Structure formats: C-alpha cells, structure tokens
C-alpha cells in the first residue's frame, strides 16, 4: 500500500516509517520541511512538504488532500495532535480517496477534553486525582479540605484551535496561592476550563491500545524509567511491562464508552499511596515511545495498516516484558538539566537521585534487552540527522 505519514520530525513517525517500510509498503513522509527525522530513513520513498498545521490548519488539510489525490495514497496516518485532530475532522473528505484508520471526530475531541474525561472517568469508576475545575478565566473557586499545595495546573486541552492555527498549552506546578493566581492569570481565556489537581507521586505508566470499531485488539504497557524534564514529561528511557489488570479495566471502560477505533494512549500515574493507577489523560494518536512497543513485539503500525486494509485482526495476546528503549539525545538533555539546574527549578520531589547518581545511570550504555530508539545500525540516516539538529540547537 501507499501510505502517507505526517509529522516527519516526530519519533513516532520514524517508528511507523521503519515498521511499515520493512513490510514492503510505499512510505511517503510529510513535514513542514525536509530533511526530517523520518524522511532520513532508508524506508522513506517519497517526501511531501506541507504548510504548518499549527499556524495554517486549513491550508495543511488542503495540501494533504491534494497529495492524497495526486499521489494515489491508500492510507493516511497522522501522528501528532495538531495533525490527527484536523484529519479526523475531515475524515469523510479523505475517505473519498483513501482510508484513515482512526476514531471519528467526536470521539477524538472528547478524549482530548480533559474536563469531560475527568467527569466520564468518575462516572465509570476510574481512579482520578482529586480535582477542582475552574470553568472560566476570573471564575472564583475554593480548594476543598485535603487538596493543598503543590498543585498541578492542567488546561482543559493540550492544544486549542486558534483562528487558523493552534494554541499549545502546558501542564504547570504551583507551590502556593500567589503562584496559582499568577499562573491562572497568565493563561488565555481559550485555555479554560482549567483543572487544579493534587500532585500524584509515583511512576508514570502508559497503557497503549488499538481498537477495531469498539473491539480491543491489542494492549501494551510500559513504565517510565527516566523522563525529560525529570519531574515528568516525555520518557527518554522506558521498559515494557505486563499490562496492569486495573489499568486495562479502566482503559476498556473509557475506550469502550467512546466506541474507539485505531490507536490510543491512556496515561496513568501509579499512586504510591495505594499503588493504584490514577488517570492523567487519553491521547487519541500514536505516541512518542511507539518504538518500544514494536521492539517488544506489538507492532501497532502494522496492526493499523491491516485495519485500513480491511483484514481480520487477531488480538495480540502477549509480548516481551523487560525490553527497554532509550532515546539517547533526550536522555542527554535530561542529564544536562539535572547537572546545571536547581532542584527547585526542576520541581524535583524529595528522594530524587542526585547529580552523580544521574550521571552514573546515564553512562550505562549497554544493558540487557535495551534498544536505542533512533540509532539503528541497519538505518543510520535518522541518527545522523538527529545529531546534526541537536548540535545546531545547542550552539
């Protein structure tokens, strides 16, 4: 099949390109410019340059539709939020020419709405952090007894449509009432409703799923060993683990209610107080650590391609646990943060390892069942591209 993958500088796009390229599919990699991470792979057969989906969402869709029609694309696989959401909004337009094996627009938008998701989770008996919702900018609110500082400040959506483009938001931490007031005042009105949540201390845990029109066909889970920034963010070293029965139960409730189709990441924090997962968010798209699932034996890109082709999908029953995948340059960025920034500025919790411990851990380059995410001996192009970009960004 001729498959178009968006977001060429996204590591998930590289994992998709490698997975499907090895299976003989004809891969076109789209990006706002080239070369990109995924288009540097030997498995990329064609390149497409399109307008920035962040700044020109409508023009992005127009160019993508034109490319699908003119190049005879069979399947479109968007990767990031800012490409997945508009593609799903125009799914009927794309499916005039090709297949888009993703959930429909309504399900994707509901999953991305953190306030709605919190309410749904509570109704379904899914564990969530203690939360207060500030509905609109300037709205008065009161923190209930037991919900104190530090607090997590979480805008209702990670990315918000703004005129023709997108406004990106970020999760923040506040230590007192003054910081909370400044943070809320600094958020644009479009970022509301805003969730104020207790900070859950414990490891992050992702449950990754693929559904065939409401029927689960694959689950996979990992634990985050190291993240960038170290207080919580994108994982730079992660390990495949068995799926938690409780997390799977929660995911089945949520995704089943949404009649999900395609891939999704359900993100939890494992609360050290009761050792139960607490829901953080759902991302209705491919995820940054996708390569780990492929390395461990759950090839989500191949499953999605088979869904698009209308093949009968046999549920994935098992995979290898204990497999690690390391994003080396992301791990290096994390190390530099720990070495040269204060614990306070990094929001590090008590008990976080010191600088020398972090350095020793970083220098463990060879471990059992550990793979490097970008650096692959049989496909070195993306690694050379990433190193050049990293050096240019740190001059």
Please give, one letter per residue, the 3-state secondary structure of 72-105.
CCCEEECCCHHHHHHHHHCHHHHCCCCECCCCCH
- The pLDDT tens digits of the residues spanning 303-349 come to 999 999 999 899 998 999 999 999 999 999 888 888 887 666 666 65
Task: Please state the domain extents for the chain.
Answer: 2-100, 130-198, 200-395
Looking at residue 20, its pLDDT comes to: 98
pLDDT value at residue 169: 83
**So what's the pLDDT on residue 280?**
93
Superfamily of domain 200-395: ATP-grasp fold, B domain (3.30.470.20)
Q: What is the pLDDT of residue 350?
A: 57
Six-digit token string for 156: 């209702």
Q: Can you give the pLDDT at residue 327?
A: 96
Q: Which residues of the chain register pLDDT less than 70?
A: 162-165, 342-353, 394-395
pLDDT of 142: 86
Q: Do domains 2-100 and 200-395 have the same CATH topology?
A: no
pLDDT of residue 345: 67
What pLDDT was estimated at residue 346? 67
C-alpha 31/C-alpha 48 separation (Å) is: 6
Q: d(Cα 191, Cα 60) in Å, to the nearest integer?
A: 23
Contact 38, 17 (CB under 8 A): yes
CA atoms within 13 A on the CB side of 70: 8
Overall pTM surpassing 0.85 (yes/no): yes
For the stretch 136-171, pLDDT in tens is 988 888 888 888 889 999 998 887 776 666 777 888
pLDDT at 98: 97
CATH no., domain 2-100:
3.40.50.20
CATH topology of domain 130-198: Dna Ligase; domain 1 (3.30.1490)
- Which pLDDT score is estimated for 254? 97
Specify whether the CB–CB gap between 282 and 267 falls below 8 A: yes
Distances 325 to 17, 236, 271, 377 between C-alpha atoms, Å: 17, 8, 24, 15
């Amino acid at each position: 099949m001729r498959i178009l993958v968006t977001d060429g500088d996204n590591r998930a796009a590289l994992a998709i390109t490698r997975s499907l390229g090895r299976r003989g599919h004809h891969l076109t990699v789209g990006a706002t410019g080239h070369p990109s991470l995924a288009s540097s792979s030997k498995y990329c057969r064609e390149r497409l340059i399109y307008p920035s989906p962040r700044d020109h969402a409508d023009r992005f869709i127009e160019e993508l539709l034109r490319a699908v029609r003119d190049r005879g694309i069979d399947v479109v696989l968007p990767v990031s939020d800012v490409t997945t959401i508009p593609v799903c909004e125009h799914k009927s337009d794309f499916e005039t020419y090709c297949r888009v094996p993703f959930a429909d627009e309504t399900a994707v938008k509901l999953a991305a709405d953190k306030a709605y998701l919190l309410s749904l989770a509570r109704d379904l008996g899914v564990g969530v952090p203690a939360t207060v919702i500030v509905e609109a900018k300037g709205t008065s609110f009161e923190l209930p007894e037991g919900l104190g500082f530090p607090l997590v400040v979480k805008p209702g959506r990670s990315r918000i449509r703004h005129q023709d483009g997108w406004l990106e938001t970020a999760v923040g931490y506040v230590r007192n009432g003054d910081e909370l007031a400044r943070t809320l005042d600094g958020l644009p009105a479009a970022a509301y409703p805003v969730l104020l949540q207790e900070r859950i201390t414990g490891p992050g845990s992702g449950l990754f799923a693929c559904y065939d029109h409401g029927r689960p066909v694959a689950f996979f889970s990992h634990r985050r060993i190291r993240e960038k920034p170290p207080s919580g963010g994108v994982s730079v070293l992660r390990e495949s683990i068995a799926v938690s029965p409780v997390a799977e139960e929660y995911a089945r409730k949520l995704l089943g209610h949404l009649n999900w189709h395609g891939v999704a990441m359900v993100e939890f924090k494992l609360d050290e107080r009761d050792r139960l997962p607490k829901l953080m968010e759902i991302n209705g798209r491919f995820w940054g650590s996708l390569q780990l699932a492929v390395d461990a034996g759950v090839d989500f890109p191949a499953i999605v391609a088979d869904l698009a082709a209308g093949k009968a999908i046999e549920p994935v029953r098992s995979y290898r646990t204990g497999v690690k995948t390391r994003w080396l340059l992301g791990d290096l960025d994390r190390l530099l943060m720990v070495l040269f920034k204060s614990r306070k500025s990094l929001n590090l919790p008590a008990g976080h390892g010191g600088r020398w411990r972090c350095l020793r851990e970083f220098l463990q380059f060879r471990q059992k069942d550990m793979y490097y995410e970008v650096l692959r001996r049989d496909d070195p192009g993306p690694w050379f591209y990433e190193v050049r970009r990293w050096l240019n960004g740190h001059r």
